[in-house]
Structure 1
């Protein structure tokens, strides 16, 4: 089971209400794809471009706006009931990408959630073999959610 905490730090109102069920559905799909057991807590924040740029600079050394950041705390094998970590999404960048890829903001938020969840579990895409594994897991979770528009 996943306990989801959402924090909206943008000037857009009610994002936590609008996207709560979609984000939870995406996280539960990842949980299922990964075959996890136990209870997990995840913090999810919507932020603006300046905040995510500051986070990206401070934690990754990249002075740019990005779409999403993941901050893992521990891995499932370390403790089956734990706080998994933080997902931080830049709403402005997610909106731009939704337009760029010609799909809904909902689909973009779901994809970014799925992508970040697998980063929280230690998956990455820095080389071709890691990228292939991560993309297969993301694809399975997206199919599980059933959101393609």
Structure 2
């Protein structure tokens, strides 16, 4: 498993984010029964930068808390059958490591701090929540319909509960 972290902000996080987010990412993979070693990139940014990314990739000219860029086009959430086709290996797996390239997570630390204050919990809990949410997107989940949203919320809360990450 490879998790690459990049902090593009001057914001200091007051917790060991690499260790805790690795646990969140692994818990999400375990919960979704990912049968492969995998690669994920996590980037911390600010509101201006995430707004630019959101405008470029989603044509929404607003800052947001987290963006997910999944690399796998699943037929259904966490349905890894598409990866069993040898023709897909070159598209979805890193040629040197053989790891499944799940995708990228981009988090606005600035927005996460505001939301943590608004919801009355720690920045650590908020960033863990955003990471769990984003990991589910990397596994093909979405929240466009109420039924999908409810299922996704249940799954992301389960990831956090299993790790003892509760609202503080």
| 1-structure distance, mates of 2:3, 2:116 | 24
Cα drift, residue 18 of structure 1: 2.8
CA shift, 1:135, in A, is 1.3
TM-score by length of 1: 0.92
Runs of 5+ consecutive residues of structure 2 not aligned to the other structure: 75-79, 84-88, 94-98
After TM superposition, list the pairs within 5 Å mapping 1:1-149 onto structure 2: 2-13=1-12, 15=13, 18-74=16-72, 75=74, 76-77=80-81, 78=83, 81-148=99-166, 149=168
Post-superposition offset of 1:140: 1.4
CA RMSD after TM alignment? 1.8
Indicate the SS of the match to 1:89. Answer: strand
Q: Whose radius of gyration is greater, 1 or 2?
A: 2
Kept in 1: contact 2:11–2:109 (CA 8 A): no
Instruction: Give the corresponding residue for 2:86.
Output: none
Deviations 1:63-113 (A, max 9, x none): 111000000111544258311100000000000000000000000010000
Judge conservation of contact 2:68–2:104 (CA < 8 Å) in 1.
yes
Number of matched pairs: 147
Structure 2 SS opposite 1:37:
coil
